[in-house]
């Protein structure tokens, strides 16, 4: 093989991603601890006041998605900068706004008792049933607005840079190749994926901002009301798309590094480009699968929620994961922990897709909606998919830039993480099969054994993640310290 | 039935995925020319696409025959039950039904979003819909077994969400 693992990135960009990655890692760990505390409470292994449970539940959901997106933005920024000039000040601005927003959310929840869940379904923020007041709701909604604004500015900058380089987002999504106007391969996979993320997230974040603003007004001016069904649509048009986009940000590290590890190119051929165009469209319009039990929705939208969810599985099942398997198969790859995480992420994405698709089937959703089946499938998909991408990126950085050498404990921790996450997700799915509701502070005795099992596996997930984080932080200060390293980098295998 | 089917399909598919990924992992060591892999891989991918697409198509066709919001009006006249959710309880217009009753639950909310989950005496969900302010969702269920059924809240609605409960007796 004649390839190199180095990526042609300047030291400034390398250094810029260190703090947000460390911060994301620490917050992810904290959110995992909160997750385990909730399971210990549901399993009656500790006494947990329901009010505290719902506050923790709110920060767990909000924090997990928020910091995963922050880590995902590091991946997109780091690799996209090879192809288009990006303004690092904008990247830093997003991190600052994120910190401000997180502080507001934390104060809103823990000082002013806001516990409206990450979904903050209208009109719950203004009608708490006596649990929180206007200040708590305003701090939470305002904090979310600040965080969303930061991501919006970041992605507008990425979209601007892509359009400047490629002429239009249609070109960077490969339309000339799809339509046969140009022969050969489309833009690099990183550019295609970044374009998709920019399109779906810019729309989702503007939608979310509109909803957050209207909810904020409603908190202070109750006579200002929103149609509850419209508000619910806006919630999931924002929340589903933004959460879903994290894995599309993360997969960029797979597109960039697996070809380098295996010495085999990952080109944007026509099928690849069609798959990403499908993902762009489906990710935007698939959200009605959250509203399958809202029977007042137009029937065609409910049916489309099922059909599009099925279709949205095709790009990953048939193109992305299959492509990863082909690249690895008989490649002579020299495995390390980083590449193992990247391979794991493809496994996690695929294995998480099926229970998700099953739940998007209307007749099944009828008995599974808002049971623990739902966190079962997205913990699998986020923990073994998106998180594995982030961890793979972290391990890659400290190996290439930080001077870290893989040891046996790294591999042992990796395998424990996989088994523990399968156990955790499996126990959630089992609870869902047993009709145990999600978002319940206290379960009936029949559902408690599965909660105890989940708490056991969740504790192992938490411990293994702590070990990963210690390894990353220990070597992170070296990242980007080798000046001008990018000058002698050979081109990547994307051509 | 649907819960059990979902569990079994997920388990079987998970085993299949694990086998595929472990096989490729075990066969990743010895390097061969990528051109040959691509030729064979693209053929397998085409077959895989046809299989996955066909399964999805069949599943779509069969599952859309049984939509929970479409009552079988031709079968019999439903027994109407009005359900109103409120933080933190349910008001129901009728809490005693008979085996064989074909119930139409008209569900709404007086304040925030709630969920209407109908559980049988084994604590298994048999029907659900959302309880929304300003809207009424109707869900149909035919009672075939006597016992105590429980309505539980399935949409997070505040600090006593898990305490929202209302029983319905179904007699012979």
On whether any CB of chain B is under 8 Å from the CB of A182, the answer is no
On whether any CB of chain A is under 8 Å from the CB of B128, the answer is yes
pLDDT at position A490 is 36
Residue among A297, A331, A353 with most chain B CBs within 10 A, to mutate: A331
**Strand ranges (E), A142-219:** none
CB nearest A366 (choices: B28, B68, B156): B68
CA angle in degrees (0–180, nearest 5) for A419-A420-A422: 65
Pairing of strands B89-92, B114-119: unpaired
**Strand ranges (E), chain B:** 79-86, 89-92, 96-98, 102-109, 114-119, 125-131, 137-142, 147-152, 165-171
Packed helices B2-26 and A321-328: angle between N→C axes, nearest 10 degrees:
30
pLDDT at position A187 is 97
Q: Considering all CA atoms of chain A, what is the largest pairwise distance in Å, rounded to the nearest integer?
A: 68
Q: Using the beta-carbon criterion (under 8 Å), do A331 and B14 form an inter-chain contact? A: no
List domains and CATH numbers for chain A.
Answer: 11-484 (1.20.210.10)
Helix (H) or strand (E) holding A200: helix A189-220
Q: How do the pLDDT tens digits run along chain B, 172 residues long? A: 899 999 999 999 999 999 999 999 999 988 999 999 999 999 999 999 999 999 999 999 999 988 888 876 556 789 999 999 999 999 999 999 999 999 999 999 999 999 999 999 999 999 999 999 999 999 999 999 999 999 999 999 999 999 999 999 999 8
- Using a CB-CB cut-off of 8 Å, the residues of chain B touching A371 are 125, 154
On whether any CB of chain B is under 8 Å from the CB of A328, the answer is yes
pLDDT at position A2 is 43
Instruction: State in Å, rounded, how far the first CA of chain A is from the last one.
Output: 15
In order, the DSSP letters of A207-273 are HHHHHHHHHHHHHH-TTS---HHHHHHHHHHHHHHHHHHHHHHHHHHHHHHHHHHHT------HHHH
Global ipTM:
0.94
All residue ranges of chain A with pLDDT < 50 are 1-2, 484-495
Q: What is the pLDDT of residues A183-242, one digit of tens each?
A: 999 999 999 999 999 999 999 999 999 999 999 999 999 999 999 999 999 999 999 999
Question: CB burial class (10 A; 0-12, 13-18, 19+) of residue A428?
Answer: buried
Minimum CA–CA partner of A377 in chain B:
B10
Q: Using the beta-carbon criterion (under 8 Å), do B59 and A325 form an inter-chain contact? A: no
Q: Tokens 């999931």 belong to which residue?
A: A236
CA angle in degrees (0–180, nearest 5) for A179-A180-A186: 85
Give me the residues of B, 130-169, that contact A with CB < 8 A: 130, 132-139, 152-162
- At A328, list the tokens: 């690895």
CA count, 13 A, side-chain hemisphere, B57: 6
Q: Using the beta-carbon criterion (under 8 Å), do A368 and B3 form an inter-chain contact? A: yes
Task: Please list, residue by residue across B92-131, b when 16 or more beta carbons sit within 10 angstroms of its beta carbon and e when fewer do.
Answer: eeeeebeeebbbbbbbbbebbbbbbbbbbeeeebbbbbbb
Cα–Cα distance between B11 and B13 in angstroms, integer? 6
On whether any CB of chain A is under 8 Å from the CB of B84, the answer is no
Sheet order of strands, B96-98 included: B96-98, B165-171, B147-152, B114-119, B125-131
Q: Tokens 């050979």 belong to which residue?
A: A490
Residue B150 in contact with residue B119, Cβ under 8 Å?
yes
Closest-CA distance of chain A to residue B108, Å = 11
Output phi, psi for A380, to 5 deg. Answer: -65, -45
Query: Taking Cα atoms as reference points, which of A286, A272, A278, A363 lies closest to residue A320?
Result: A272
CB nearest B139 (choices: A295, A354, A441): A295
Residue A130 in contact with residue A54, Cβ under 8 Å?
no
pLDDT at position A316 is 84
- Using a CB-CB cut-off of 8 Å, the residues of chain A touching B2 are 363-364, 366-368
């Amino acid at each position: 093989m004649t390839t190199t693992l180095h990526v042609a990135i300047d030291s400034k960009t390398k250094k810029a991603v260190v703090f947000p990655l460390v911060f994301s890692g620490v917050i992810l760990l904290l959110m995992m601890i909160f997750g385990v505390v909730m399971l210990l409470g549901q399993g009656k292994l500790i006494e947990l006041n329901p009010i505290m449970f719902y506050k923790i539940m709110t920060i767990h959901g909000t924090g997990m998605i928020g910091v995963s997106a922050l880590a995902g933005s590091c991946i997109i920024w780091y690799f996209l900068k090879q192809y288009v000039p990006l303004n690092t000040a904008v990247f830093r601005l997003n991190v600052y706004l994120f910190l401000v927003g997180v502080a507001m959310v934390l104060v809103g929840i823990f000082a002013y008792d806001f516990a409206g869940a990450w979904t903050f379904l209208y009109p719950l923020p203004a009608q708490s049933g006596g649990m929180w007041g206007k200040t708590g709701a305003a701090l939470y909604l305002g904090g979310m607005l600040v965080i969303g604004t930061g991501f919006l500015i970041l992605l507008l900058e990425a979209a601007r840079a892509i359009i400047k380089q490629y002429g239009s987002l249609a070109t960077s999504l490969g339309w000339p190749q799809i339509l046969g106007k140009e022969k050969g391969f489309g833009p690099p996979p990183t550019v295609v994926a970044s374009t998709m993320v920019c399109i779906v997230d810019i729309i989702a974040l503007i939608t979310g901002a509109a909803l957050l603003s209207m909810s904020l007004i409603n908190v202070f001016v109750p006579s200002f009301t929103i149609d509850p069904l419209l508000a619910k649509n806006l919630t999931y048009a924002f929340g589903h798309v933004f959460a879903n986009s994290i894995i599309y940000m993360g997969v960029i590290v797979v597109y960039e590094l697996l070809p380098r590890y295996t010495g085999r190119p990952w080109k944007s051929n026509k099928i690849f480009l069609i798959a990403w165009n499908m993902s762009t469209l489906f990710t935007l319009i698939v959200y009605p699968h959250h509203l399958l039990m809202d029977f007042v929705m137009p029937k065609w939208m409910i049916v489309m929620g099922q059909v599009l969810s099925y279709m949205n599985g095709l790009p990953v099942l048939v193109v992305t994961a299959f492509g990863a398997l082909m690249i690895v198969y008989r490649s002579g790859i020299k495995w390390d922990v980083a590449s193992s995480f990247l391979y794991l992420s493809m496994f996690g994405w695929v294995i998480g897709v099926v229970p998700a698709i099953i739940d998007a089937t209307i007749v099944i959703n009828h008995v599974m909606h808002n049971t623990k089946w739902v966190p079962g499938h997205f913990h699998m998909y986020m923990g073994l998919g998106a998180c594995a991408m982030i961890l793979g990126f972290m391990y890659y950085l400290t190996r290439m830039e930080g001077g870290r050498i893989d040891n046996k404990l790294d591999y042992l921790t990796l395998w424990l993480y996989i088994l523990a996450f399968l156990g955790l997700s499996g126990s959630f799915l089992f609870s869902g099969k047993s009709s145990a509701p999600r978002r319940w502070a206290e379960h009936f005795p029949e559902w408690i054994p599965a909660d105890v099992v989940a708490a056991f596996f969740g504790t192992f997930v938490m411990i293994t993640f702590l070990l990963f984080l210690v390894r990353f932080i220990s070597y992170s200060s070296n990242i980007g310290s080798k000046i001008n390293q990018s000058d002698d980098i050979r081109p990547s295998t994307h051509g | 039935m649907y819960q059990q089917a979902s569990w079994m399909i997920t388990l079987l598919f998970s085993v299949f995925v694990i086998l595929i990924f472990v096989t490729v992992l075990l066969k990743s060591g010895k390097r061969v020319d990528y051109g040959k892999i691509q030729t064979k891989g693209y053929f397998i991918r085409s077959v895989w696409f046809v299989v996955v697409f066909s399964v999805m198509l069949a599943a779509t066709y069969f599952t859309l025959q049984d939509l929970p919001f479409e009552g079988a009006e031709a079968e019999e006249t439903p027994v109407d039950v009005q359900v109103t959710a409120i933080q933190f309880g349910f008001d129901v217009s009728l809490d005693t039904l008979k085996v064989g009753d074909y119930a139409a639950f008209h569900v709404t909310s007086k304040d925030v979003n709630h969920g209407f989950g109908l559980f049988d005496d084994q604590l298994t969900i048999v029907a659900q819909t959302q309880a929304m302010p300003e809207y009424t969702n109707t869900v149909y269920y035919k009672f075939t077994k006597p016992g105590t059924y429980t309505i539980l809240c399935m949409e997070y609605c505040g600090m006593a969400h898990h305490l929202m409960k209302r029983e319905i007796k179904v007699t012979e």
